[in-house]
Amino acid sequence: MKVISSLFFSPLLPASVPPMIQSQPILFDELDPEPRLLMGPGPVDVYPKVLRAMSTALQGQFDPQFTQYMN
């Protein structure tokens, strides 16, 4: 697979070659596990407020709304 990927991204290929990702079938549905309480050492549960913040759309540093936050 390493050889194929290095050949695929070669500048010698024409621009009309479709990306490999578009030709790959979707093997799995979206992962949506049930909420669980993690009590052991290691990974811990994330607060719902943090999950909501992480799921919002990102803004660029020069976005007008973001520059208002910085001022």
Residues 39-56 have pLDDT tens digits of: 888 778 888 899 889 988
Q: Alpha-carbon distance 46 to 68, whole Å?
A: 29
Q: Flag whether pLDDT at 64 surpasses 50.
A: yes
Give me the amino acid identity at 68.
Q
Amino acid at 36: R
pTM, whole model, 2 decimals?
0.34
Distance CA 34, CA 44 (A): 15
Q: Nearest to residue 4, comparing CAs of 15, 17, 16? A: 17
